[in-house]
Amino acid sequence: MEIPLEQSYAAAVPELSVPWRAEAPPHPELVWLNEELARELRYSPAWLRGEEGLSLLTGQIDGTTAQAYAGHQFGSPNPQLGDGRAVLLGDLVDTGGHRRDLHLKGAGRTPFARGGDGKAPLGPMLREAVIGEWLHALGIPTTRALAVLSTGEQIAPRQGVTPEPGALLVRVAASHLRVGTFEYATWHLDPEARERLVEYTIQRHHPQADGPLGLLEAVVRSQAELVAQWMLAGFVHGVMNTDNMALSGEGIDYGPCAVLDVHRRGAVFSSIDRGGRYAYGNQPGIALWNLSRFAETLVPLLDADPNQAIEQATAVLERYEGWYLEAHGRGLAAKLGIPRGEQTEQAGVGTAEVEELGAALFDLLEEQEVDHTGFFRALGEGSAAALFKDPAPFERWDARLRGLRGDGPPAETARRNMAHVNPAIVPRNVHLDAALRAAHLGDVQPVRTMLDAVGRPFERRAEHAHLEEAGDGGEHFLTFCGT
């Protein structure tokens, strides 16, 4: 059941990609196929497992391209990045009427490889699949994996000297337009090409936006919503470079990412983030920094008067904090079982009150080294006090919470809904790493178990009880980029 792929991006802005075909892997085999997502894309899982489907999933089709982009990496500009080990297979319209990209990672060297071999190891590709499915199950906008395949070859290791099994990840995204895409266009292309890029981005993701300024507002608002949800879930992206910020508002490029065990603002799990630039607590501010770089690319298109253009862009960026706090406060209220709406707003329970209560809570969680995910789940189940070394401060805080919750049907409904907001299962660092190590040695069942668990994260199932606890060593865990 072949679904023709289009190349709408290459057609709109041909200057931003080059025709390129993936290397043919010697012995490709499906490790995991996301059957639910396949059907959403109008593909038959049985067809994808066949010869023609395998050709698609390994990039052995016509019309594929490698995309050019730039970016600020750990704060420093790099004018030439791009798909160094990936190809864009094309785009299609899914069963919901949404246009989606199919993108292949681990496809071999491209013109943007910058000295790398273009290969990807199995562990990081499976990590991206697990993280994407977990975020999707939480309702957080994210790219997802359609499939992970082994290539049948051993590739150079990321660390040490022992070769690793090679792999391919077929990623599905709303698009692969990034802040870094606009940086590349600004640094290398003429105004007419940049205007076409703006038009394509608006048409693809933010059709309500009115020109470049409207696009900036839409992207800033969508990123404020996204990062607020990351913070509430305890998710640490790990490498928030501008080339890893998607203009669609989805999370993208899950390399050295992880999830909090103990709540810590300074939590860093990435082996390459030695200065802690992308620590958990820095993520909202880094998002604004990235968005400011995006705004800079639009300034020449906003107004003939540079001062007026900068003033317009600055006015939009200044709204980021309010949008972020509103999204964070709305989500935090749900996690704490505080009803929101007309009745409670009239009673004075708004974003500021929720955020003040949340700030006191997060201070308390960090001081007493309490598990982030475990706390919120236990709070809804009435057992949170047992998590604290000294429960007295928590009990005082809990009295404040009960005062904000109030009584009556809205409060009762909000408390019941906590079980559908606070997950029991997250991809714990120790457990996910153990599953990936098993896959490295040829046993993919632990990863399949993890995928099953994170796909229904609000459910407590006996077969996944061992995945609920943090495990030993999770706080000092390091993840490694998949390059």
DSSP 208-233: T--HHHHHHHHHHHHHHHHHHHHHHH
Alpha-carbon distance of 142 to 6, in angstroms, equals 22
Angle, vertex CA 145, rays to CA 142 and CA 149, nearest 5: 160
Going residue by residue through the chain, which has 483 residues, state the pLDDT in tens, using 9 for 90 and above: 577 899 999 999 999 999 999 999 999 999 999 999 999 999 999 999 999 999 999 999 999 999 999 999 999 999 999 999 999 999 999 999 999 999 999 999 999 987 778 899 999 999 999 999 999 999 999 999 999 999 999 888 766 668 889 999 999 999 999 999 999 999 999 999 999 999 999 999 999 999 999 999 999 999 999 999 999 999 999 999 999 999 999 999 998 899 999 999 999 998 888 899 999 999 999 999 999 999 999 999 999 999 999 999 999 999 999 999 999 999 999 999 999 764 444 444 688 999 999 999 999 999 999 999 999 999 999 999 999 999 999 999 999 999 988 888 888 888 899 999 999 999 999 999 999 999 999 999 999 999 999 999 999 999 999 999 987 766 676 776 554
pTM score, two decimals?
Answer: 0.95
Q: How far is the CA of 221 from the CAs of 210, 326, 448, in angstroms?
A: 15, 11, 35
User: Do 175 and 248 meet the contact criterion of CB atoms below 8 Å apart?
Assistant: yes
Picking from 455, 368, 398, 412, the residue whose alpha carbon sits closest to that of residue 36 is 455
Residues facing 236 on adjacent strands: 258
Contacts of 477 (CB under 8 A, 6+ apart): 258, 269, 429, 430, 433
User: Do 269 and 257 meet the contact criterion of CB atoms below 8 Å apart?
Assistant: yes
Q: Which two tokens stand for residue 60?
A: 């052995």
Picking from 19, 70, 64, 14, the residue whose alpha carbon sits closest to that of residue 193 is 14
Contacts of 145 (CB under 8 A, 6+ apart): 32, 34, 37, 125, 128, 129, 132, 133, 169, 170, 171, 172
Angle, vertex CA 169, rays to CA 18 and CA 46, nearest 5: 110
pLDDT at res. 341: 64
Alpha-carbon distance of 88 to 19, in angstroms, equals 9
Look-up: residue for tokens 């404040």?
Answer: 400
User: Do 226 and 235 meet the contact criterion of CB atoms below 8 Å apart?
Assistant: no
Residue spans per domain, the chain? 8-176
Picking from 224, 230, 220, 198, the residue whose alpha carbon sits closest to that of residue 211 is 198
User: Do 144 and 171 meet the contact criterion of CB atoms below 8 Å apart?
Assistant: yes
Residues facing 171 on adjacent strands: 103, 145
Report CA torsion sign: 52, 55, 60, 61. positive
Picking from 107, 126, 121, the residue whose alpha carbon sits closest to that of residue 159 is 121
Contacts of 26 (CB under 8 A, 6+ apart): 151, 152, 153
Picking from 353, 325, 315, 317, the residue whose alpha carbon sits closest to that of residue 225 is 325
Task: Check 83, 91, 243, 371 and give the catalytic one.
Answer: 243
pLDDT at res. 345: 45
Q: How far is the CA of 168 from the CAs of 130, 171, 220, 444, in angstroms?
A: 15, 9, 32, 15
Q: Is 117 a catalytic residue?
A: no
